[in-house]
Amino acid sequence: MSKHYFDPRLKIFSLNSNRPLAEKIANAVGVELGKSSVNQFSDGEIQINIEESIRGSHVYLVQSTSSPVNDNLMELLIMIDALKRASAKTINVVMPYYGYARQDRKARSREPITAKLVANMLEKAGTTRMLTLDLHAVQIQGFFDIPVDHLMGAPLIADYFLEREIQGDDVVVVSPDHGGVTRARKLAEYLKSPIAIIDKRRPKANVAEVMNIIGQVEDKVCVLIDDMIDTAGTITLAANALKEAGAKEVYASCTHPVLSGPALQRIEDSAIKRLVVTDSIYLSDDRKIGKIDEISVSELIGDAIKRIHENKPVSPLFEIRYR
């Protein structure tokens, strides 16, 4: 464990979605994980008990709303209610991966905006601050009327490539779609490399078709970056298109490895040489296929928690200085 944190009022609790990450965050901060239990009744109802006093404490609750999304979200809401009723002074939800973030607008008539609904539920339950990482849509910050600290995974991913001297003019950072250009530009800035964009059309959910590559990729090392990889259709089609266009090597990276359905097989069969992901979502050992390199966000989040607790700015965390 890091040096023991000076303020005993700071407490970190974990639920079931990603306990290994929560343990690493607690270690980075210098505290023990809070004692609590999560059980289910025979009909599936969730029952939570906090097994230590948290009266007057500043609680940081770690829970990604990854698969099973609805169970993890319900766990989180119940735990927030328990913390509120146990007289926690502040309830700070640390949500590395924000489930339902893709439902951030009405794409068609009569659709819900579920990302906003989740924000409403978290606030109503008693959340006083959100700490999250690489939201799929940054405007989700505006769905809350409480402070939201939004961290970036790009500096960590940049460190991975800089350590391997994958940088400069021989490297092209590629956005797999128009929506990710800002993210790609930030990574390109760190690597001092140009960018390219994949122009794609998506005929229906979880189906993507590569149409055109905007930028020079021939004889270049290409680095794809996205906020999340779900079924891996977009990222693998993009990688294969880059290879066909003459790229020397293709790396891929994302903050959130959702990796559902056929994702792992698609990645294994694709032109991707290495896939760099973070541990924002728990990956069991059997899902860490040979091409996957995992980097941890625990130091980043741990540092953010200490800065928030001490009323210091979190902006220095956007620099390349982790890993």
Residues making up the binding site for D-ribose 5-phosphate = 202, 226, 230-234
- Annotated binding residues, written as ranges, equal 43-45, 102-103, 136, 177, 202, 226, 230-234
- Residue tagged 């959130």 (tokens): 256
Residue 177 CB contacts under 8 Å (≥ 6 apart), including other chains: 197, 198, 199, 200, 234
- Annotated binding residues for Mg(2+), written as ranges, equal 136, 177
- Annotated binding residues for ATP, written as ranges, equal 43-45, 102-103
Closest to 298 in 3D by CA, of 2, 4, 69: 2
Burial label for 169, CB within 10 Å (0-12, 13-18, 19+), is exposed
Bridge partners (DSSP) listed for residue 197: 175, 214
Q: Over the range 107-123, which residues count as b (16 or more CB within 10 Å of their CB) and which as e?
A: eeeeeebebbebbeebb
Given the residues 186, 200, 243, 306, select the one marked as catalytic.
200
Tell me whether residue 200 is one of the annotated catalytic residues.
yes
The single-letter code of the amino acid at 264 is L
* Angle formed at CA 165 by CA 164 and CA 167, multiple of 5 degrees: 125
Q: Over the range 7-35, which residues count as b (16 or more CB within 10 Å of their CB) and which as e?
A: eeebbbbbbebbeebbbbbbbbbbbebbe
Q: Please list the active-site residues.
A: 200
